[in-house]
A and B are shown apart, each in its own frame.
Chain A
């Protein structure tokens, strides 16, 4: 079984500041890891994913995440926040192989202050 813990249900940053959203996972097999973003009144969009290979993954809108196996973490970062980054962010894990199901964290709401 797999699980995801997102530390902090609400993160607030100033425009131009570093964004750091934390995600820790547990999985009995090598995981596939995902970050999704949800803007108000919309569905979820994929930001980035890690499957195999390079542990630093770059996504859309300037976001990136690093898979750290020793820490079972997959934290999301962006060097400089923009007002348009305000949204809810979800980390998700899928066990590698034939398991089709994603397990989501509870989400982190990002607020960007002018």
Chain B
């Protein structure tokens, strides 16, 4: 079964810090995604990548960047964390022929 692993379940950081969220998948999937999930807003796509070193902006990319140096790893970077980035962050992966996304368990990030 596909496994998507997010490096931290809970993370507390301070305003202005540079924050890295890491995601690794073990199924050689081409596509990887970062979402944030907020109550009443559902899941919103931040960035996605369909190949190594390729990235595209999702619906809410402001304040975030991403890195994909290896196929299995997709990192989300908060350049200068702010309190409005306190949220649940979900990573997912898929292959183009599968049509479904496999999700990690999420990282609950608090910015103080």
Contacts and interface: CB of A to CB of B under 8 A. Distances in A.
Interface residues of A, number: 21
Interface in A58-88: none
Interface stretch (B13-21, B35-43, B60-68, B70-78): B35-43
Contacts of B50: 100
Interface size class of B (residues with CB under 8 A): 20 to 34
A26 to B, nearest CB: 15
B109 interface: no
A35 to B, nearest CB: 11
A101 B58 contact: yes
B101 A102 contact: yes
B28 to A, nearest CB: 16
B25 interface: no
A90 interface: yes
B105 A49 contact: no
Contacts of B42: 90, 104-107
Contact of A100 (B35, B96, B104): B96
A113 interface: no
Contact of B103 (A32, A45, A106): A45
B111 interface: no
A34 B105 contact: no
A9 B31 contact: no
Contacts of B99: 32, 49, 51, 94
Contact of B41 (A36, A102, A106): A106
A94 B50 CA distance: 15
Interface in A3-61: 9, 32, 34, 36, 41-46, 49, 51
A107 B92 CA distance: 18
Contacts of B100: 34, 46, 49
Contacts of B105: 41-43
Given A9-B40, A44-B90, A106-B41, 4 more contacts: A42-B105, A43-B4, A43-B106, A44-B92
The 6 A-B pairs with the shortest beta carbon distances in the complex, nearest first, are: A43-B103, A106-B42, A104-B43, A44-B103, A104-B42, A43-B105
